[in-house]
Amino acid sequence: MVKPTEQELNIRLMDFGDVPQVFDIERNSFNDSSWSIDAFYHEVEKNEFAHYFIIEFNEKIIGYIGVWIVIDQAQVTTVAIDESYRGYGLGQLLLKYAMSYVQTKCEVMSLEVRVDNEIAQHVYTNLGFQYGGKRKNYYGEGEDAIVMWVNLNE
C-alpha cells in the first residue's frame, strides 16, 4: 500500500451514510470488543455530545475518531485506522484534527488505551497526553486500560 499524502486525504464530520464503512473498520480492528453498528448510528444521530470524524483517501473511509464534548472536557470514545493504512501516522493526524476541533470548547481531553497497546500510547505521549491511572477490567475480564489526558490550552 502506498502512503497517502496529506493533500490526498480528507477529514470531515461523519454522517449516517458513513456508518457501514466505519463499522467494518471497527469490527476488523477490535474483534470481540467492537461497538455495534447500532451504537454508531446512535452516536451520529442522537447523541448531542458526540462528534465523529472520518478520514478518507480516494473517497474511501480509512479511519475514524469519536469524541464526546461535555461542558469543558473532551473524551475520545473510539479511534481506528483501516489495517491497510496503519503505520503512516494517520491515527495521529486524525487525533490532532480532533484536538484542534475541541480546543476552543474544552480545556482537557482524555482517553483510555489498552495497557498492552504500546504503539497507541507512544502516539498519545507524542501529542502531549500524560498518564492518569488505570481502569481495571475496562475492556473486559483481565483487560485493563490506561487513562491518559492532555491539557489543550498549554
Amino acid 133 reads G
What is the pLDDT of the chain when averaged over all its residues? 93
pTM recorded for the entire structure: 0.93
pLDDT of residue 65: 98
Confidence band, pLDDT 50/70/90 cuts, at residue 3: confident
Q: For domain 6-151, give the CATH number.
A: 3.40.630.30
pLDDT of residue 5: 86
Write the pLDDT tens digit of every residue in 99-117: 999 999 999 999 999 999 9
3-class SS string, the chain: CCCCCHHHEEEEECCHHHHHHHHHHHHHHHHHHCCCHHHHHHHHHCCCCEEEEEEEECCEEEEEEEEEEECCEEEEEEEEECHHHCCCCHHHHHHHHHHHHHHCCCCEEEEEEECCCHHHHHHHHHCCCEEEEEECCCCCCCCCEEEEEEECCC
Lowest mean pLDDT among 8-12, 50-54, 87-91, 140-144: 140-144
For residue 98, is pLDDT > 70?
yes
Confidence band, pLDDT 50/70/90 cuts, at residue 32: low
pLDDT of residue 103: 94
Catalytic residues: 112, 124
